Amino acid sequence: MVFLYINPMTIEQRILLELHYLTNSKEIINNSFTCDKRVFNHHKKTFIDLKEKYNTTIESVVSLQNNRVITVKFSINRFKHTIIYRLYNYPFRVPGVDIDGKGYSPCLSEKYVKMFNIRGICLCCASIVCRRNWKGTNTMLDILLEYARNEKLYFSRIREKSYCNYVRNKKLGFYLPISEFL
């Protein structure tokens, strides 16, 4: 974990700084962005992880309602997604997070854990958007990184299994245990 000392700032200044980083992600990766080196290196590493490990690119960032509702359009492996942050009481409380019009926490629910036979791990409780795990130092970028990680590990598999079930039910017309082997 990286601890950074940043001069005290207001909540509005912090949100504006995070928006600035999100909108300039390509410049940060290409070293053509100037700011405090400690903060820069932390965000640069995160943006490089998003791009190289998870094949994620940020396409656009839109701020509404005095920077309290932020929409980020991004793509992961050619799939386009939209994440909406509702930043009321941010950073002291977990922001509301919707991805593609659905709440992020229900995506981590027990039915998906059962789908993968994960024992002992609740994805919702392991997430940083869980109230018990949220810290004031977490950022919107951390939530995006977590979603990209979960997309790679779990959500893409859920999509594959649902496609297999669709093909089995609609095209074959009889039960064939295809999805059990994925």
pLDDT, one tens digit per residue, over 140-182 is 888 898 888 888 777 777 777 777 878 888 877 777 776 666 6
Supply the pLDDT for residue 136. Answer: 86
**Tell me: the pLDDT tens digits for 21-33?**
888 777 776 766 6
Give the residue-averaged pLDDT of 72-96: 86
* The pLDDT value given to residue 54: 81
Instruction: Name the phi and psi angles at 101, rounded to 5.
Output: 80, 0
> Residues 34, 40, 43, 44: what is their CA dihedral angle, to the nearest 10 degrees?
70
Residue 37: the pLDDT is 63
Give the DSSP letter of residue 42: H
3-state secondary structure of 180: helix
Could you tell me how far CA 134 lies from the centroid of its own chain?
Answer: 14
Is 57 within 8 Å of 51 (Cβ atoms)? yes
Q: Which residue has the higher pLDDT, 6 or 165?
A: 165
Q: Is 43 helix (H, G, I), strand (E, B) or coil?
A: helix
CA distances to 15, 19, 130, 158 from 67, in Å: 7, 9, 23, 33
Of 54, 84, 80, the residue nearest 68 (C-alpha)? 84
Alpha-carbon distance of 64 to 59, in angstroms, equals: 17
Give residue-wise pLDDT tens across range 23-66. 877 777 676 666 666 666 777 788 888 888 888 888 888 888 77
pLDDT tens readout for residues 103-143:
887 767 666 656 655 556 677 777 888 888 899 888 888 88
Task: Give the Cα separation of 173 and 166 in Å (integer).
Answer: 10
